[in-house]
């Protein structure tokens, strides 16, 4: 079986410079941004449950706050977004309300006003 062209390429010399990072990873992350934009468009087009303008779901508030972190220009965005979406409590609950996870913490609104977790 012939090797694919990419399997003959040598691994990049690390750490990559900024231009190399952009060249290597831009298209992948462009697609992810478009996925988020499409998701938000679908949410905006969807009728609220019960036909009323109910309060926004905690997951949407969390996602919007995470996007704000991405744009704030401060360092350690990945860590801060992960903390923003994570449950900071340390006490175990008696019984899980469901099997699986929701991807964001329902108590998000109780965090700092800007949506940033405490440092």
Please determine, for residue 110, whether its predicted confidence score (pLDDT) is greater than 50: no
* Residue 48 domain flag: no
* Residue 66 domain flag: yes
Q: How many CB atoms lie within 10 A of CB 69?
A: 21
Task: State both tokens at 46.
Answer: 């969807």
* Residue 47 domain flag: no
* Residue 78 domain flag: yes
pLDDT digits (tens, 9 = 90+) for 31-84: 999 999 999 999 999 977 765 555 678 889 899 999 999 999 999 999 999 999
Whole-structure pTM over 0.95, yes or no? no
| DSSP 8-state code for residue 108 | G
* Residue 28 domain flag: no
Domain that holds residue 67: 57-88+103-112
* Residue 36 domain flag: no
Number of domains in the chain: 1
* Residue 82 domain flag: yes
* Residue 69 domain flag: yes
């Amino acid at each position: 079986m012939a090797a694919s062209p990419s399997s003959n390429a040598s691994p990049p010399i690390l750490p990559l410079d900024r231009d190399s990072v952009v060249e290597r990873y831009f298209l992948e992350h462009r697609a992810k941004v478009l996925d988020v934009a499409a998701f938000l468009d679908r949410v905006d087009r969807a009728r609220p449950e019960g036909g009323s303008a109910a309060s926004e779901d905690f997951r949407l508030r969390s996602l919007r706050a995470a996007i704000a972190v991405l744009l704030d220009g401060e360092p350690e965005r990945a860590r801060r977004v992960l903390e923003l979406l994570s449950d900071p409590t340390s006490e175990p609950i008696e019984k899980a309300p469901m099997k699986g996870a929701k991807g964001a913490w329902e108590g998000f609104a109780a965090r700092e006003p800007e949506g940033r977790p405490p440092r």
